[in-house]
Amino acid sequence: MSQLVQIHAQMIRNHLSQDSFGVSKLIEFCALSEYGNLHYAHKLFDQIPEPNTFTWNTIIRGYANSIFPRQSLCLFIRMLKSSIYPNLFTFPFVIKACAHLVAFEEGRQVHGMILKAGADNDVFLINGLIHLYASCGKIEAARKLFDGSCKRDLVSWNSILCGYMNCGLMEMAKRLFEEMMERDVVSWNVMINGYAKLGDIDKARELFNMMPTRNVESWNIMISAYAKCGLLESSKKLFDEMPERNVVSWSGIITAYAQGGQPTEALALYDEMRKAKMKPNCRTIVSVLSSCAQLGAFDQGKDIHMYVDQSKIKVDSIIETALIDMYAKCGRVKNAVRIFDKLESRDVFAWTAMIGGLALNGHGKKALELFGEMEDAGVKPNAVTFVGVLCACSHCGFVEMAWHYFNTMTTVYGINPHVEHYGCMVDVLGRAGRLEEAVSFLRSSPAKDDAILWGTVLGACWIHRDVKLGETVGDLLIKLEPNDSGIYVLLSNIYARVGRWDDARKVRLLMESKSLQKNPGCSAIEVHGTVYEFYVGGKLHCRAEEIYLKLDEIAFRLRLLGYVPNTSPVLFDIEDEEKEHAVLHHSEKLAIAFGLISLDDGVPIRVVKNLRVCCDCHTVAKLISKIYNRQVIIRDRNVFHYFRDGLCSCKDFW
């Protein structure tokens, strides 16, 4: 960009700024080159007193190919008002912009101009109009244009075929496909993509197998289709079989693992991609940042951010929002705020990411203040925004404020509550000990049969030692989800917490009779750019012996402070000493011990846990932060816990 400015400055010094040809070529470079800058091209364009048709076409084309197609139409209108009539090179760009915007009325007006210009037999323009009408869902108009065209080429056939596919009319697409005499790889890809979008993976694979020739896109479509159906193994198998791969192939498989809840595998694939000398695109960057966010892998996320800054990847609002989300979920709120504050324009997604990030990190009041700023800025929140707002209320214990926002969501913004919003309200009420109110609210809501929300109520019963309600909710949950091991574990823990050991043991025996296994706790910690995962009692780590020696040291120093392990959740018929060992070997304690032996003094220990941190681990983390004078940060499935000097940021309310 700086080079472009220097070139323009040189032109001015040499009195070449009045040279319309030179300026036009500079605009062309700025508007159409991947190294250019469309905003700067527009600025140069506005300085020309009387731009010619070529220059108008250049700037209109630039915007039609960008993420700002509306500007293309605005410039087209300006062109008409300036008495410069469009030519055959203008119309395709305007049609493309209309298709991007799904602007049927504007497109129809452009069609009228084409008819007046006598260009209605231009096959290139007709193909563009077919695509435009199909994109707007006007498939009958597209078909009428197709049938009335005296000049059809393969693009014409593929355009109407693609139109049927996008409208979900696969039977019509199939008939047209069978009529085609000149089918090419694009036609086959359209059909495969159509069946994939409908979730008919078998039909898509059948056509894929029948293809006479395939290109990279054919493979990419099938890889994406398997991923969308949750068939990651099939997707990866196909990826491994590809004769050649492009950036879309790599990005597709990385995104599949990132969105499929396997962030470690996604990051490993990203490393392979870089080793293959393949440059990632924006979609790749967003997916790997999402994976870093899931794992709390700050070092890797920071490296990716650095790569984005140093490379020529154009940073758009999607990448910026992904960076905010990554830093927030890695516990680096200041980094997230720094990016947010520098944004030239903030869309709803950026505001939402920042509000949710503040809430997750225990800054509930700041999150609510930011929501107020969002409203003042005139940005309309979406459903996800309110999830962040309600979570902020929950972590702060703001019950009445939560009710206010829950009602505002519908009355002011017209957003119907989703299951996530009902879940937030149940959580708010449950945390505040208003259990009967939570039950009444849930029973009267559309989510009254949602097992996850009743599980939230059951968790609140454990927190507040409400055995009677816990029994009622537990029985209901077992009927709703008889094979969910977490229900039995939580119910047995409720009994154990009040000393009803026989009842706790009966629940565990019922669980064992159904051959149900408890979901294992998993904790991840990043050390020197590598993420290590620990499971309860795990001994597969290469430094397991050192880790367990450190745990023994921790246990000894804890006892000197009078610490007594909370072994109530350990219900097996074993001796007290063995119970203490079972609690001591929870996954987050293993991760913390590894952090103590692996990280330099003063470096915070950051752990991400897949479950809610238990009371004993919470207590131990507080004491470790005091004994070792070390900040310990744990992100569980609910919130961040910042442990320092024997205290936690959640104030024991989580």
Q: How far is CA 172 from each of CA 139, 195, 563, rounded to the nearest angstrom?
A: 11, 12, 72
Looking at the predicted structure, is the pLDDT value of residue 13 above 50? no
Q: Of 344, 358, 349, which Cα lies nearest the Cα of 382? A: 349
**Tokens of residue 633, six digits:** 């940060």
**Tokens of residue 156, six digits:** 């014409």
Q: Of 466, 489, 476, which Cα lies nearest the Cα of 572? A: 489
**Tokens of residue 55, six digits:** 């220059």
Residues 589 and 495: their CA atoms lie apart, in Å, by: 25
| Domains located in the chain, CATH noted | 418-513 (1.25.40.10), 522-648 (no CATH)
Residue scoring higher pLDDT (590 or 168): 590
Looking at the predicted structure, is the pLDDT value of residue 569 above 80? no
Side-chain-side CA neighbours of residue 549 (13 Å): 5
Query: How large is the angle between the packed helices 467-480 and 451-463, nearest 10 degrees?
Result: 160
Residues 6+ apart with CB under 8 A from 73: 94, 97, 98, 101, 103, 106
Question: What's the burial of 426, exposed, middle or buried (CB within 10 Å: 0-12/13-18/19+)?
Answer: buried
Average pLDDT value over all residues in the chain = 89
Q: Write down the pLDDT at residue 573.
A: 44
Residues 570 and 527: their CA atoms lie apart, in Å, by: 31
* pLDDT tens per residue across span 398-418: 999 999 999 999 999 999 999
Looking at the predicted structure, is the pLDDT value of residue 15 above 50? no
Which of 22-36, 89-103, 221-235, 282-296 is least confident?
22-36
* pLDDT tens per residue across span 498-546: 889 899 999 989 988 988 887 788 999 999 989 999 998 888 888 999 9
Q: Write down the pLDDT at residue 517.
A: 80
* pLDDT tens per residue across span 176-197: 999 988 889 999 999 999 999 8
DSSP helix, strand, coil percent of the chain (3-state; round to 5): 65, 5, 30
Looking at the predicted structure, is the pLDDT value of residue 206 above 50? yes
Q: Of 358, 439, 371, 445, which Cα lies nearest the Cα of 402? A: 371
Q: Write down the pLDDT at residue 534.
A: 93
What backbone phi and psi angles, to 5 degrees, belong to 647? Answer: -125, 160
Positive or negative CA dihedral for 246, 252, 258, 264?
A: negative
Which of 112-126, 440-454, 557-571, 636-650 is least confident?
557-571
- Encoded amino acid at 438, one letter: A
**Tokens of residue 625, six digits:** 């932060």
Strands 632-635 and 522-527: unpaired
Residue scoring higher pLDDT (238 or 486): 238
Q: For the residues 456-483, what does the mean pLDDT come to?
A: 92
Looking at the predicted structure, is the pLDDT value of residue 353 above 50? yes
Looking at the predicted structure, is the pLDDT value of residue 17 above 50? no
CA 222, distance to chain mean position in Å, is 22
Looking at the predicted structure, is the pLDDT value of residue 243 above 50? yes
Question: What's the burial of 246, exposed, middle or buried (CB within 10 Å: 0-12/13-18/19+)?
Answer: middle
Q: Write down the pLDDT at residue 624.
A: 95
Residues 22 and 571: their CA atoms lie apart, in Å, by: 82
Q: How far is CA 180 from each of CA 130, 170, 187, rounded to the nearest angstrom?
A: 17, 15, 9
**DSSP of 38-56:** HHHHHHHHHT-SS--HHHH
Residues 290 and 326: their CA atoms lie apart, in Å, by: 6
- Encoded amino acid at 484, one letter: D
The pLDDT-based confidence of 34 (bands split at 50, 70, 90) is: low
Q: Write down the pLDDT at residue 6.
A: 52
Q: For the residues 586-602, what does the mean pLDDT come to?
A: 94
Looking at the predicted structure, is the pLDDT value of residue 79 above 90? yes
Q: Write down the pLDDT at residue 49.
A: 85
Q: Write down the pLDDT at residue 407.
A: 96
Task: Please tell me what DSSP assigns to residue 311.
Answer: S
The pLDDT-based confidence of 125 (bands split at 50, 70, 90) is: very high
Task: Please tell me what DSSP assigns to residue 65.
Answer: T
* pLDDT tens per residue across span 157-172: 999 999 999 888 999 9
